[in-house]
Structure 1
Amino acid sequence: MLKHIVILSGVLVLSGCVSSQKAQEEERQFRQESMQAIETSEQNITQQLDALRTTIESQNSTIVSLQDNVSVLSRRVDNLAKQNARQLLDESQKKPEPIVIPATPIAETQTVLGSIEMVEFEQINQSFEARIDTGAATSSLNAVDIQEFERNGNKWVRFNLSTDKEEDAEPVWMEAPLIRYAKVRQSNTAKAERRAVIELWIKLGDIREKAQFTLADRSHMTHAVLLGREFIKDIALVDVSKTYVQTKPQQQ
């Protein structure tokens, strides 16, 4: 019996020793594997850090290169701006060359009128001295005893054109359709005067045109007829130093 107990105890002791050795072996193997895993992780991290450091250095190098290019371009832009400024200054200081336009004789382009010409009114087949006035916008005609009437449903006016103040002077009556009324302000007054406007065919030398006239009492004026810019424009030029360029003066 005792022999069996001793044998059993020995077996248990040997079994415990074997288990302890196995556990130690497993622990040693676990530690070794853990160390290898840690070393592998450290290597991977080191490689990643090296790759990141290389990327950062490459990017820094690219940034430095771009900054150098920007500096070069900035200097070029400044130089070009200075050159353009100098060129503009030089151009502004240059005196422009005069433009020479060949002169064309006035006689070849437009009719020249004197400051006084004879104007013929076709309606009554009579001529009157007319003042050619570039300072007046509209033409004006002497008219006294103005009478407004209606003909065929339209408004007309009848007036005396004559400026002869003699008691036995014969009136020169004219009739014309009433175009409109216009307000005319004289230079010597601030009040505007309402005047009738008519249209008549007139002849001045070789010129035959229809002209509009405002009717006014010009008996105190030297000339019964005044031709303004609206009639002159696009038709003739005026030489104020001359008279009767296109017509002959009225014989007394």
Structure 2
Amino acid sequence: MKLLPIISLSLLLSACASQQYEQQHQQTLGQLDQLSSQQSALLEQCQAISEQLESQQQHFEQLDEKIDGIVIPSTNPQKPTVKTCTSQTSYKLGNKTVLGEAEWVSLERQTNAFQARIDTGASTSSLNATDIVQFERDGKNWVRFNMRHDTLDKDILVERPVIRSAEVIQSSTNQVDKRPVVSMLVKLGPITEKTEFTLTDRKHLSYPVLLGRSFLKDISVVDVSKKFTQAKPTFKD
């Protein structure tokens, strides 16, 4: 009699376990079906993308064929040449003289002509000066310097009164250096103007003279495609 309840309990537990297993099995099958559906959807999307790419490739091939059919006339491009002038000329734009990016200039009390960089990006003009010595003459500050440069055949010593000092920031050290400023007459083609020059070492640069906006404003414009549009001037002209 005692075995009957035990057997009944065992059968009940077995049935419960079997039912639970069946439920888990059904859940697993459901998850597998869901994954299979998602995979099918992804495959369909991939197929659609593949078809779009193939269509675009065909379109590109058609464009390539059209481009290949375009005939471009053959040309023999020549490198741009810098226009120069060996005789006295004067290019005008309105009432302003047109200058190239480099010109010949003559400086006050100098018989030599100097090559000058015409730079609209510089606010002031500068002059190559080495061996600078400041001294006093008749109670005024003067400066003596050498215009030594590779473009010059010989050293040129210059003495000029100092009108003021300019602070120049050295690009290599960011230190502020005070430089003397002198005023000189400049002759460039038909232009004769007095301008201020900051004395600085330009031996490592291509031109011993730089003319900035302080000289150029109101009297000239610059065409950077040209060089030496004006003949070499002298104050004997």
The structural deviation recorded for 1:245 is 1.8
Counterpart of 2:157 (choices 150, 160, 173) is 173
Show structure 1 runs of 5+ residues with no match: 1-104
The structural deviation recorded for 1:186 is 4.8
SS in 2 for 1:221: coil
Is the CA contact (8 Å cut-off) linking 2:105 and 2:113 kept in structure 1? yes
SS in 2 for 1:230: helix
State the Cα RMSD in Å.
2.3
Matched, 1:119 2:105: yes
Q: Give distance in 1, aligned partners of 2:211 and 2:184.
A: 12
- TM-score with structure 1 length normalisation? 0.53
The runs of at least 4 consecutive aligned structure 1 residues that moved more than 2 Å come to 105-109, 185-193, 246-249
Q: Which residue of structure 1 aligns with residue 203 of structure 2?
A: 219
- 1:104-149 deviation per Cα after TM superposition (whole angstroms, max 9, x unaligned): x962321111100001013122111000001111100000011111
SS in 2 for 1:241: coil
- 1:139-166 deviation per Cα after TM superposition (whole angstroms, max 9, x unaligned): 0000001111111111100100121499
Q: Give distance in 2, aligned partners of 1:185 and 1:237.
A: 28
Q: How does 1:1-252 map to 2 (within 5 A)?
A: 107-164=93-150, 170-186=154-170, 190-247=174-231
- 1:75-111 deviation per Cα after TM superposition (whole angstroms, max 9, x unaligned): xxxxxxxxxxxxxxxxxxxxxxxxxxxxxx9623211
Q: Which amino acid aligns with 1:153?
A: G
Is the CA contact (8 Å cut-off) linking 1:112 and 1:246 kept in structure 2? no
Larger Rg: 1
The structural deviation recorded for 1:247 is 2.9
Is the CA contact (8 Å cut-off) linking 2:127 and 2:200 kept in structure 1? yes
Ranked by relative contact order (alpha carbons within 8 Å, sequence separation 6 or more), the top structure is: 2
Identity in percent: 51
How many residues in Structure 1 have an aligned counterpart in Structure 2?
Answer: 143
Q: Which residue of structure 1 aligns with residue 78 of structure 2?
A: none
Q: Which amino acid aligns with 1:133?
A: D
- TM-score with structure 2 length normalisation? 0.56
SS in 2 for 1:243: coil
- 1:23-77 deviation per Cα after TM superposition (whole angstroms, max 9, x unaligned): xxxxxxxxxxxxxxxxxxxxxxxxxxxxxxxxxxxxxxxxxxxxxxxxxxxxxxx
Is the CA contact (8 Å cut-off) linking 2:99 and 2:220 kept in structure 1? yes
Is the CA contact (8 Å cut-off) linking 1:205 and 1:247 kept in structure 2? yes
Q: Give distance in 2, aligned partners of 1:232 and 1:128.
A: 17
Q: Which amino acid aligns with 1:207?
A: I
Q: Give distance in 2, aligned partners of 1:108 and 1:165.
A: 33
The structural deviation recorded for 1:178 is 0.3
SS in 2 for 1:197: strand
Larger helix proportion, structure 1 or 2? 1
Is the CA contact (8 Å cut-off) linking 1:110 and 1:235 kept in structure 2? yes
